[in-house]
């Protein structure tokens, strides 16, 4: 992924250089528009570096985590954005307490999935946590158009259908990697409407 990052950064970097050269020669009236697109490119580079930076933070390893508690916190964080978009955000849970995962990784995965769902939803996003007795399954569902790329593609690094400055294509691959690093997994599951992802969180097993 890091090798890919260099390649991904070259495009906006080249754009920044070209736009800066244009600004030097542009009449005053055109500069504002050029500088705005220059800032967009810089913003995109920032997002790429931030996404990789978050991932490459020193992993803490799995520990006991209150999955319902993390879900409530994630809901509070996403609520302002959902509100601005006029979307309802619901968490269904209550039985999914002791999971085994790095809490920061779990939070990052759920924020990534929540933001994707908010990007796509028509009216609502729902998180649902279930304890099956052998693992905790957290499903994130939205009522948007569903995926326009294959599941395999969506989990590839740098694959994004969002405009520059909006998407990095790193949310899903990093989330899946974090889940697997913690003994869990992240998959797309079939749904009639919109998109549904399922995060598997191993149960916490107290040591004897
Ligand atoms: N809930 C969703 N509904 C529709 N498409 C989605 C959803 N989540 C992810 N995708 C698709 O998968 C792509 C990759 O997602 P992601 O890795 O998070 O990157 P990004 O969000 O930066 O584009 C998105 O650009 C989008 O095309
Ligand atoms: Mg994303």
Using alpha carbons, select from 169, 150, 149 the residue that is nearest to residue 160: 169
Q: Which ligand is nearest to the CA of 118?
A: 1
d(CA 57, CA 191): 34
The residue-averaged pLDDT of 67-75 equals 94
- Residues with CB under 5 Å of ion ligand 2 are 116, 171
186 pocket-lining for ligand 1 (C-beta < 6 Å): no
Q: Which residues of 41-63 are buried (b: 16+ CB within 10 A; e: fewer)?
A: bbebbebbeebbebbeeeeeebe
Mutate to test the pocket of ligand 1, among 160, 166, 174, 192 (most ligand atoms within 8 A of CB): 160
Q: Residue 146 pLDDT > 90, yes or no? A: yes
CA distances to 20, 74, 85, 94, 116 from 79, rounded to whole Å, are 38, 8, 10, 19, 14
Q: Residue 159 pLDDT > 80, yes or no? A: yes
Give the count of alpha carbons within 13 A of 80, CB side only: 2
Place of tokens 């390893």: 61
Q: How far is CA 101 from the centre of its chain?
A: 17
3-state secondary structure of 175: helix
Residue 38: its pLDDT value, please?
Answer: 93
Q: Compute the distance from residue 126 Cα to the ligand 2 centre, in Å.
A: 16
Q: Compute the distance from residue 67 Cα to the ligand 2 centre, in Å.
A: 21
d(CA 120, CA 194): 8
Residue 118: its pLDDT value, please?
Answer: 98
d(CA 21, CA 71): 47
Q: Compute the distance from residue 171 Cα to the ligand 1 centre, in Å.
A: 8
User: How many Cβ atoms from other residues are within 10 Å of residue 186's Cβ?
Assistant: 22
pTM for the structure as a whole: 0.88
pLDDT digits (tens, 9 = 90+) for 28-69: 999 999 999 999 899 989 888 888 877 777 777 899 999 999
């Amino acid at each position: 992924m890091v090798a890919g990052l260099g390649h991904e950064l070259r495009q906006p970097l080249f754009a920044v250089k070209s736009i800066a050269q244009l600004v030097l020669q542009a009449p005053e009236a055109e500069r504002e528009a050029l500088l705005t697109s220059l800032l967009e490119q810089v913003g995109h580079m920032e997002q790429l570096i931030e996404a990789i930076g978050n991932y490459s933070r020193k992993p803490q390893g799995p520990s006991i985590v209150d999955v319902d508690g993390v879900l409530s916190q994630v809901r509070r964080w996403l609520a302002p954005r959902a509100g601005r978009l006029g979307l309802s955000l619901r968490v269904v849970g209550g039985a999914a307490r002791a999971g085994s995962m790095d809490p920061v990784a779990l939070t990052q995965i759920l924020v990534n999935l929540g933001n994707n769902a908010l990007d796509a939803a028509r009216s609502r996003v729902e998180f649902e946590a279930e304890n099956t007795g052998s693992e905790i399954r957290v499903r994130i569902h939205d009522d948007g158009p569903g995926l326009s790329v294959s599941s395999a593609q969506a989990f590839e690094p740098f694959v994004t259908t969002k405009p520059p400055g909006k998407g990095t294509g790193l949310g899903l691959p990093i989330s899946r990697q974090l889940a697997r690093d913690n003994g869990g997994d992240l998959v797309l599951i079939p749904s009639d409407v919109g998109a549904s992802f399922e995060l598997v969180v191993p149960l916490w097993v107290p040591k004897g």
